[in-house]
Structure 1
Amino acid sequence: MVPFKVNIFAMVVYVLESMAIITQSSFTVAVLCREWVHSKKLSPVEMILVSLSICHFCQQWASVVYNFCSFAKPNYIFWNLALIWEFTNILTFWLTSLLALFYCVKISSFTHQIFCWLRWRILKLVPWLILGTLILACVTVIPSAIINHNWMELLSVDYSPRNSTFSERFKFFFQSFSKPHKIIGLGIPFLIFLVSVILLVASLVQHWGQMQRYNISNRNSGMKAQATALRSLAIFFIFFTSYFLTVLISFLVPIFEKRAWFWVCEAVIYGIVCIHSTSLMLSNPTLKKAPEAA
């Protein structure tokens, strides 16, 4: 049993993390939209960051409202908010995998013709890929929407032995289908992210080896740049993987079944989201210079 003071502390931490994520997301969208107004264009990375920030903003508000308003009776109210959270969460995974794929294509030194073709076309493909991730997230969340609708219909009917039997069957179907569906929906974009990161690391290591053939001054500066890239990539990988694992665990072991640990789990999950969001902000030159410009 988690002590009451620990739960209160975790709740306060969760609220502070939520405020930080909402502020970061609003700041990112505001700065990059201002940049778009001034220059009439956004880089592909900035397009993805804007989309990710909008996702984080909507996801965090859905999480806050759902957690505080429906914690007492999670099965009866605010199912639509849970659906919004699931949709934005899946979309966040797809957009993050798209960001990793973009970096892999642009930075890697592979000379295979597939990479060469992607490197040539990626700038024009990014807007369409963002639209594709939105469509994929919509398609992925459809089964959850159907299940939620049927579950709400079931809860609204009068109790009877027949309805009780049907309820038990539906609950079994829900548990048998919902969890694998959610795992697959998050697992596919995470697998793309993982493959992109592995290929990018392999390319950086290969390039690092090639730097040994250059003169000392170029080699030192090149190795420093490679070390910085690998460090940033490691941070990106660690926190996104941690987020995937925590969300996966929360799906496999529903938090509402472990009510004593609810706020602790939420604080851990969104602490990782906050750090991941911060690392993405610090990786963008426009966002890093914005406070100085202000």
Structure 2
Amino acid sequence: MLGAVEGVLLSVATSEALLGIVGNTFIALVNCMDCTRNKNLYNIGFILTGLAISRICLVWILITEAYIKIFSPQFLSPINIIELISYLWIIASQLNVWFATSLSIFYFLKIANFSHHIFLWLKRRINIVFAFLIGCLLMSWLFSFPVVVKMVKDKKMLYINSSWQIHMKKSELIINYVFTNGGVFLLFIIMLIVCFLLIISLWRHSKWMQSNESGFRDLNTEVHVKTIKVLLSFIILFILHFIGITINVICLLVPENNLLFVFGLTIAFLYPCCHSLILILANSRLKQCFVRILQRLMCSEEGKEFRNT
């Protein structure tokens, strides 16, 4: 049985998961409808749809595994179940970071202002950049899957006393953890570099505007600031998400600690929940659709109240 604090944290985590699913489903549906209406799939639409779908899968994997682990851990006893969950987790989590990194690079190449020939070459060949990122993703999977296979075959993960436990030295666990998340680290570093370059671009553009003393509204600066806010929010929330997942992995070394596990889960769900809302508010098309839906819901509620009076 869960204690009072554990129950509250699990309720918060479940609410975050539901909000994350609703927000990302909205993003995916809007982009899919635009694709059907225009009969064309733009790069930004494809990236946002893929990011939303990968987050939905990520949330379902996390919340399903959490509820089974807390309330019916015996369902995880077959080794092939935990192996399948591990594979699905690697695919969903790395796809999620890949789409987020692709989104940041897309914004960077479309918004930033640099005269360097490398930047101009990349700007004209954005498809080559995405092909390189796909190669990074495939290489990451090639490194990650063998680690999970080896852990399962060597019986490093065992179901003992109604809980899953990892039986290996801390140094070995750290090495396996690094290999499994190596691709995630690489993509995250690329995102940090892109965010840093966007800040430099904004600083240069602001300096140029001050030197010209232009009184006109600077739309480019607004776009710069909005994009940097989206990227910084992703970086902060993803760091919290990674901390939460790390706490859950540590729980495999500290069995029967539901409080620590649920706390890590609550932190991990902040990312798919909050960042989907940030993307909706930052994207004018998504924001307009969201406002229209809210207006229709409010009108329908007012109509019901009017009929009841």
If the length of structure 1 is used for normalisation, what is the TM-score? 0.81
CA shift at 1:144, angstroms? Answer: 3.6
**Alpha-carbon spacing, 1:256–1:275, altered in 2? closer, same or farther (3 Å):** farther
2:197 maps to 199
2:212 maps to 214
Please give the residue correspondences for 1:136-215 in structure 2 after superposition, counting only pairs within 5 Å. Answer: 136-151=139-154, 171-172=168-169, 175=173, 177-215=175-213
Matched, 1:98 2:102: yes
Q: Is the 8 A contact 2:240 2:267 kept in 1?
A: no
Please give the residue correspondences for 1:34-53 in structure 2 after superposition, counting only pairs within 5 Å. Answer: 34-53=33-52
**Alpha-carbon spacing, 1:220–1:95, altered in 2? closer, same or farther (3 Å):** closer
Q: Is the 8 A contact 1:95 1:130 kept in 2?
A: no
> Partners of 2:198 and 2:12 in 1: how far apart?
35
1:6 maps to 5
> Partners of 1:113 and 1:229 in 2: how far apart?
23
**Alpha-carbon spacing, 1:11–1:197, altered in 2? closer, same or farther (3 Å):** same
- Greater CA drift, 139-148 or 41-50: 139-148
Amino acid at match of 2:168: K
Gaps in structure 2 of 5+ consecutive residues: 160-165, 294-309
Q: Is the 8 A contact 1:109 1:203 kept in 2?
A: yes
Matched, 1:116 2:113: no
> Partners of 1:105 and 1:151 in 2: how far apart?
45
1:272 maps to 271
CA shift at 1:6, angstroms? Answer: 1.2
- Greater CA drift, 235-244 or 51-60: 235-244
**Alpha-carbon spacing, 1:62–1:285, altered in 2? closer, same or farther (3 Å):** same
**Which of these residues, 93, 116, 121, is aligned with residue 89 of structure 1?**
93
> Partners of 1:51 and 1:228 in 2: how far apart?
21
Q: Is the 8 A contact 1:62 1:85 kept in 2?
A: yes
Amino acid at match of 1:203: S
Equivalent residue pairs, number: 279
> Partners of 1:287 and 1:125 in 2: how far apart?
28
> Partners of 1:140 and 1:87 in 2: how far apart?
12
**Alpha-carbon spacing, 1:232–1:116, altered in 2? closer, same or farther (3 Å):** same
CA shift at 1:191, angstroms? Answer: 0.8
Q: Is the 8 A contact 1:211 1:219 kept in 2?
A: no
2:296 maps to none
CA shift digits 1:86-114 (9 cap, x unpaired): 32112212221222222222211111111
CA shift at 1:290, angstroms? Answer: 1.6
Amino acid at match of 2:91: F
SS at match of 1:217: coil
**Alpha-carbon spacing, 1:177–1:208, altered in 2? closer, same or farther (3 Å):** same
Gaps in structure 1 of 5+ consecutive residues: 157-167
SS at match of 1:13: helix
Amino acid at match of 1:120: R
**Alpha-carbon spacing, 1:45–1:256, altered in 2? closer, same or farther (3 Å):** farther
If each structure's helix is expressed as a fraction of its own residues, which one has the higher value?
Answer: 1
> Partners of 2:178 and 2:75 in 1: how far apart?
21
> Partners of 1:154 and 1:219 in 2: how far apart?
59
> Partners of 2:76 and 2:28 in 1: how far apart?
34
CA shift digits 1:150-175 (9 cap, x unpaired): 1569869xxxxxxxxxxx9x734852
Amino acid at match of 1:67: A
CA shift at 1:58, angstroms? Answer: 1.1
Q: Relative contact order, CA 8 A, sep 6+: which one is greater?
A: 1
Q: Is the 8 A contact 1:183 1:248 kept in 2?
A: no
Amino acid at match of 1:236: F
Please give the residue correspondences for 1:71-82 in structure 2 after superposition, counting only pairs within 5 Å. Answer: 71=70, 72=73, 76-77=77-78, 78-79=81-82, 80-82=84-86
CA shift at 1:285, angstroms? Answer: 2.4
1:242 maps to 240
